[in-house]
Structure 1
Amino acid sequence: MFSFSRLMLTLSLPLVTLGITPLLAQAADFPTKPVKIVVPVSAGGSADKLTRILADKLSAKWGQSVVVENVPGASGTIGAARVAKAKPDGYTLLQTGEALTLNALLIKTLPYDSATAFQPVIKAVVNPQILVVNPKLGIDTFAQYIAVSKNQPGSISLGLPTSGGIAQIAHEILNRQTGGSVNFIPYPGGGPAAVDVIAGHTNATLITLAAVTEYVKSGQLKALAVTTPYRSDALPEVPTMAESGAPGFSVESWQGYLAPAGTPAAVVNKLNQDLVAVLKDPDVKAHLETLGYGVAASTPEQLATTLSEDHQRYGKIISEAGISIQ
């Protein structure tokens, strides 16, 4: 069981016992050199887009470079491992979401302990996953997609932004609800997965909505349905899966940032406060919502709760459905 809340309490004890003045001074000066944000998937996807938007704003706010480093591979665990081993000073952050929990549940051996290696900083945004297909495929509705996946099992090739990520879990849940089956093809990120659907190399992808909003609006991809119980204001004409043939279906993903465990609480709070300020800037918020994100701007404690709840929810789903990642 994840124990991020206990971890945060443990990390905060030195502030009480040793005094907060040195750490507050450290946070007040932070950052005094470039900050690196590791995005554990390829460039071009929603995680990369979000992080680059925030990095530009933070760089202007801090007067320091904020470098985005894409480290794809092994379902995001290579990038996560790099941050887990980084110096806990706030200068190296990890972009992640529910993938951190899913990897812990589905991968037997990880190069880090997900429950103790990281310090929650912020849940930045929430977002639907969206099912999109190549417009020339001949499937125009979610109901048609389900019918083909049931009547012609495995005939639809579906690119996954990453093996074992929320898209695969969501589609596995959908398969079990509808009786369908598709051919999963893992990619090292949402960008490459979407590009291959556009090019016709694969038929479809289930992906974070913000990664393909512009492709849908331009007609390069055909949107069939979103995974959340609500429609997205960015693409309000796209129905939910629940209203289109999968009653009760609901999956919402999130994206946020973590620091290595042991990062001083005052520095974590400074990072959180500055990220919240950027996320709530009216222009930034409007831009993110246009792309399809919902701004969450949580506290570190709220992110710790999300991580714990994810572990319980997805652990139950994976166990009951017998989901495994090869």
Structure 2
Amino acid sequence: MRLGSMIQFSRQGARVAAILASVAIAATAAHAQDPFPTRAVKIVVSAPPGGQTDSLARFLGDGLSKRWGQPVVVENIPGAGQTIGTAKVAHSPPDGYTLHLAMHATFTRKLYYTSLNYEPTALTPLLQLGEAGYALVARPDLPAKDVRELIAYAKQQEGRTSLGLLGMGGDSHVRMVIFGLRNGIKFTQAAYKGESDILNALAGSHLDIAMVSLSSALALVPKVKIIAITSAERNPAAKDLPTFAESGVQDFSFGIRYFLVGPPDMNQALQKKIHEDAAAVMAAPDAAAMLARLQLTPSDRSLDAARKGAAAEVESFRRIMAESKLEPQR
């Protein structure tokens, strides 16, 4: 082939390659600009209906449905330490049509359950929704009115004091193990699917104590008794309830943080779209009233804060797992 012909052929090939590249870029841009959503979106909740997590998911779902003009359905999938629902989200396509209303412990599960069939830290944090302290709650006839009396009672019971848990390996489970180690007490642990189950067991005196969300506990007083709260300061809505620090137990402030998350590998444009719309719902005036009703304080609503918040939960849990001396489970 002559040199001139070769140059002409090379130029033609370059033009074809440029055209194909332009088509590919245009197709990608068109795909990125596809309207979302065009059908129903699902928010998975790893807890039964009626609790704080479920209430938050339904509020967010209603707001998103109004913004999107599409149904947003809450699907409750409790069980296995709240991992069944999360696994469904983790294995869903990253198209935004399956989301998860997650607690902070969602990101830490594999540090306790090492054989999970998904990687919690691969989930896509989209928005922090709110946060609050836990309440240490007891059956109404438990002969202890504060933390110190509870410690004395549990020591007398020599391991027979029953502790209700939302599955093993969660934040409240590990921290209550630490609480026991620091104070020389042991508990008989019992796992439940949801807070409503725990509170019903406490109200019926079938369970001694549990850590639950403050809003859920307050709703059932006086059928249950609140011993103390885990927040650093007293809650304005329940000013008579002491903190653990006020009760003489130091370095025991922690709480719940809620996130909206998606499956792994969501593209940046879709993350931004869902984040902005969900953040707008949570910034509306009626959201403030809803958060107050659930005893939640607003969180930083930036996308970067959601990512950093999830990472911080993992690092925090590594530290408390080490102190608890709990062995990870397969």
* Short-chain TM bin: 0.7 to 0.9
After TM superposition, give the deviation of residue 239 of structure 1 in Å.
0.9
CA distance in 2, matches of 1:313, 1:130: 20
2:209 equivalent to 1:208 = no
Which residue of 2 is the match for residue 321 of structure 1?
A: 324
CA distance in 1, matches of 2:93, 2:281: 25
| 8 A Cα contact 2:171 2:317, kept in partner | no
- In 2, Cα distance between equivalents of 1:70 and 1:164: 20
Larger radius of gyration: 2
Q: Partner of 2:241 in structure 1? A: 238
Partner of 1:143, secondary structure, is: helix
> CA shift at 1:23, angstroms?
5.6
Confirm or deny that 1:224 pairs with 2:230: no
2:63 to 32, 53, 57: 57
Percent identical pairs in the alignment equals 31
TM norm structure 1: 0.87
Answer yes or no: is 1:89 the counterpart of 2:92: no
User: Gaps (5+ residues) in structure 2?
Assistant: 1-23
2:285 corresponding residue in structure 1: 282
- Root-mean-square deviation (CA, aligned residues, Å) is 2.0
What residue is the counterpart of 1:256 in the other structure? 259
Do structure 1's residue 36 and structure 2's residue 39 form an aligned pair? Answer: no
Question: How far did 1:213 drift?
Answer: 2.8
Normalised to the residue count of structure 2, the TM-score between the two structures is 0.86
1:84 partner letter = A
Asked if 1:125 corresponds to 2:123, the answer is: no
How far apart are the structure 2 equivalents of 1:197 and 1:257? 30
2:118 maps to which of 83, 107, 112: 112
The answer to whether residue 166 in structure 2 is matched with residue 161 in structure 1 is: yes
| Poorly superposed stretches of 4+, deviation over 3 Å | 17-24
The match for 1:134 among 139, 146, 154 is 139
Report the residue type matching 2:253 in the other structure. Answer: S
1:304-315 map, 5 Å:
304-315=307-318
Structure 1 residue aligned with 2:33, among 25, 33, 36?
25
Is residue 265 from structure 1 mapped to residue 273 from structure 2 by the alignment? no
Report the Cα offset of residue 83 of structure 1.
Answer: 0.7
Q: Report the counterpart of residue 77 of structure 2 in structure 1.
A: 71
- Specify the SS of the correspondent of 2:121: coil
Whole-angstrom CA distance in 1 between matches of 2:134 and 2:201: 18
Query: Which residue does the alignment assign to 1:46?
Result: 52
**Offset of residue 325 of structure 1:** 5.8
Greater shift, 104-113 or 132-141, is seen at 132-141
CA contact (8 A) 1:234 1:290 kept: no
Residue equivalent to 1:172: 177
Alignment partners' CA distance in 1, 2:251 and 2:89: 37
